[in-house]
């Protein structure tokens, strides 16, 4: 469920663009500075809108933060669905993309969705539920791919692909968290490579470690 369908009055095309510009700016600032470090005034200035425009779309900061959560989850899901985890090449390409992204930013900001958990989970129950829903969708999308990989014999047969999807998402989140504080993507790389190697060893169609 995205915010767009959840609680928005009908917007004109121009209104939808303005709202999207506000959410984009807020998402960027929050990723760079954290939720507590981002004021509505920062967002207003970055999105180049007036205070009354901002308040027209968002009653308060909580509402804007919730729109940012949906936006980040939608962006991640869009990218995840473009990846094809149903083939060994696709899984490798996804792994390379995730690591390259962490390398290019020194893992600054961590995961755009995961890094919001520690900031919001205890302070804002609605935000917590939205982040959880985002992770559920993400895990399901990974599971869709891994089920195909399992069916084609590229995963050890005793593995449950949905369990592996949760484990891969956990390793990704934890690896990104370690990479973020260490300013070094190696932990992320180690976690993903170790898990993928373990999951594919003993498969019907093994491949060498690349």
Q: How far is the CB of 113 from its own copies (least distance, A)?
A: 9
CB of 53 to its own copies, least distance (A): 27
Question: Which tokens is 180 given?
Answer: 């973020």
> Closest Cα to residue 169, out of 130, 190, 142, 148?
142
Q: Are 166 and 139 in contact (CB under 8 A)?
A: yes
> Of 49 and 195, which CB lies nearer to its own copies in the complex structure?
195
Closer CB to its own copies, residue 17 or residue 33?
33
* Minimum distance of its own copies from residue 183's CB (angstroms): 8
Residues that bind its own copies (CB under 8 A): 32-37, 108-110, 114-119, 121-123, 128, 131-132, 135-136, 139, 156, 158-160, 163-164, 166-167, 169-175, 177-178, 180-183, 187-188, 190-191, 193-195, 197-199, 201-202
In the bound state with its own copies, the residue whose beta carbon lies nearer, of 49 and 187, is: 187
Nearer to its own copies, 1 or 48 (CB): 1
Mind spelling out the 3-state secondary structure of 99-144?
A: HHHHHHCCCCCCCCCHHHHHHHCCCCHHHHHHHHHHHHHHHHHHHH
Do 143 and 165 contact (CB within 8 A), yes or no?
yes
Q: Are 26 and 64 in contact (CB under 8 A)?
A: yes
């Amino acid at each position: 469920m995205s915010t767009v369908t959840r609680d928005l009055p009908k917007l004109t095309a121009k209104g939808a663009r303005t709202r999207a510009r506000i959410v984009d700016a807020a998402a960027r600032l929050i990723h760079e500075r954290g939720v507590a470090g981002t004021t509505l005034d920062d967002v207003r200035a970055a999105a180049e809108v007036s205070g009354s425009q901002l308040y027209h779309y968002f009653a308060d900061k909580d509402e804007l933060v919730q729109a940012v959560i949906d936006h980040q989850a939608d962006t991640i899901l869009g990218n995840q669905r473009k990846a094809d985890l149903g083939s060994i090449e696709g899984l490798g390409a996804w792994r390379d993309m995730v690591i390259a992204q962490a390398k290019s930013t020194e893992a600054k900001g961590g995961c755009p969705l995961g890094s919001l958990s520690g900031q919001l989970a205890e302070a804002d129950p609605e935000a917590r539920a939205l982040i959880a829903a985002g992770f559920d969708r993400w895990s399901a999308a990974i599971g869709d791919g891994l089920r195909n990989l399992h069916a084609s014999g590229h995963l050890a047969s005793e593995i449950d692909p949905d369990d592996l999807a949760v484990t891969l998402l956990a390793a990704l989140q934890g690896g990104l968290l370690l990479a973020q504080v260490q300013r070094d993507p190696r932990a992320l790389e180690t976690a993903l490579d170790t898990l993928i190697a373990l999951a594919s060893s003993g498969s019907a169609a093994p491949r060498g470690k690349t």
